[in-house]
């Protein structure tokens, strides 16, 4: 299934995308696409619905982030060997973890704001993993059974804030609008191998990032095993798993960063496409 949230900011409703690409309203069956409705039983109940009886949603309706009420937004850094190389950083021994404030989360096509004083706002296409069932001390071989589904995430980043404001990377990752998420939450049964997905990101129509999740240093199962040994993962938690090469910071001879008026388009095979216009905050 492809699950969505649609409607005005703060008043999104749950929906799903039918076989023809039409959004159908799930409001009569669940309150939201969030942790309370992402368990195996809940998803099976949604699969059993007669989609043709669900109300259609106008195609022009805004899409919100595909997961509501996110508990933890966990981010893995330097998880592609070729991205680590372009950043002139060593491949990590263990997954690098930082947090993104949930207040950064926006819809997949919402405007991205460059923060006041920013000099280095950058783009990062990433595979998002959404937890469906509680995970604690999970082994790698069982890890994917705890995944509700996958989505596209743009881990927008302010590099000066990230590296020069002292402290953790979180400062450069949590600005308002820095977490476009969606368009859909594609349930795990439709993505049998999360390590065989192609990713891309364009800025103003120019291809900047091209990658494959096969190049991850730590695969999704390893990431869940590691994180669940440190903290309990709860339904509705989101993990974004790192970005392939081609970020603005890595461009030679001089980095290139986002400016007002730019447009980003990014996507992952099977998970849909995002588009964002960039404005000054």
Instruction: Tell me if the pTM is above 0.75.
Output: yes
pLDDT digits (tens, 9 = 90+) for 169-197: 888 999 999 999 999 999 999 999 999 99
- 31 is a domain residue: no
- Residue 214's CATH number: 3.90.850.10
- 9 is a domain residue: no
- 223 is a domain residue: yes
- 1 is a domain residue: no
What string of H, E and C letters represents the secondary structure of the chain? CEEEEECCCCCCEEEEECCCCCEEECCCCCCCCCHHHCCHHHHHHHHCCCHHHCCECCCCCCECCCCCCCCCEEEEECCEHHHHHHCCCCCCCCCEEEECCHHHEECCCCCEEECCCCCCEECCEEEEEEECCCECCCCHHHHHHHEEEEEEEECCEEHHHHHHCCCCCHHHHCCCCCEEECCCEEEHHHCCCCCCCEEEEEECCEEEEEEEHHHECCCHHHHHHHHHHHCCECCCCEEECCCCCCCHHHCCCCCCCCCCCCEEEEEECCCEEEEEEEEEC
Q: How many domains is the chain built from? A: 1
- 8 is a domain residue: no
- 12 is a domain residue: no
- 118 is a domain residue: yes
Q: Which pLDDT score is estimated for 22?
A: 97
Q: Could you list the residue range(s) of the whole structural domain that residue 224 is in?
A: 68-280
pLDDT digits (tens, 9 = 90+) for 104-139: 999 999 999 999 999 999 999 999 999 999 999 999
User: What does the mean pLDDT of the chain come to?
Assistant: 95
């Amino acid at each position: 299934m492809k699950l969505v949230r649609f409607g005005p900011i703060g008043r999104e409703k749950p929906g799903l995308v039918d076989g023809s690409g039409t959004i159908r309203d799930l409001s009569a069956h669940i309150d939201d696409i969030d942790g309370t409705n992402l368990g195996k039983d809940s998803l099976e109940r949604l699969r059993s619905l007669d989609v043709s009886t669900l109300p259609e949603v106008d195609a022009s309706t805004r899409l919100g982030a595909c997961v509501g009420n996110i508990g933890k937004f966990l981010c893995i850094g330097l998880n592609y060997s070729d991205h680590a190389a372009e950043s002139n950083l060593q491949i990590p021994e263990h997954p690098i973890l930082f947090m993104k404030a949930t207040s950064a989360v926006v819809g997949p096509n919402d405007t991205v704001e460059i923060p006041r004083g920013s000099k280095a706002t950058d783009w990062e296409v990433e595979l998002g993993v959404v937890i469906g069932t509680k995970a604690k001390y999970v082994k790698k071989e069982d890890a994917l059974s705890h995944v509700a589904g996958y989505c596209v995430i743009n881990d927008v980043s302010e590099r000066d804030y990230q590296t020069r404001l002292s402290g953790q990377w979180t400062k450069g990752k949590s600005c308002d609008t820095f977490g476009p998420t969606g368009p859909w939450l594609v349930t795990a049964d439709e993505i049998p191998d999360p390590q065989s997905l192609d990713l891309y990101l364009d800025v103003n129509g120019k291809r900047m990032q091209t990658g494959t999740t096969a190049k991850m240093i730590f695969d999704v199962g390893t990431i869940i095993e590691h994180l669940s040994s440190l903290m309990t993962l709860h339904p509705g938690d989101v993990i974004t798993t790192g970005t392939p090469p081609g970020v603005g910071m890595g461009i030679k001879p001089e980095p290139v960063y986002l400016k007002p008026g730019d447009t980003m388009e990014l996507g992952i095979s099977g998970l849909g496409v995002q588009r964002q216009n960039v404005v000054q905050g």
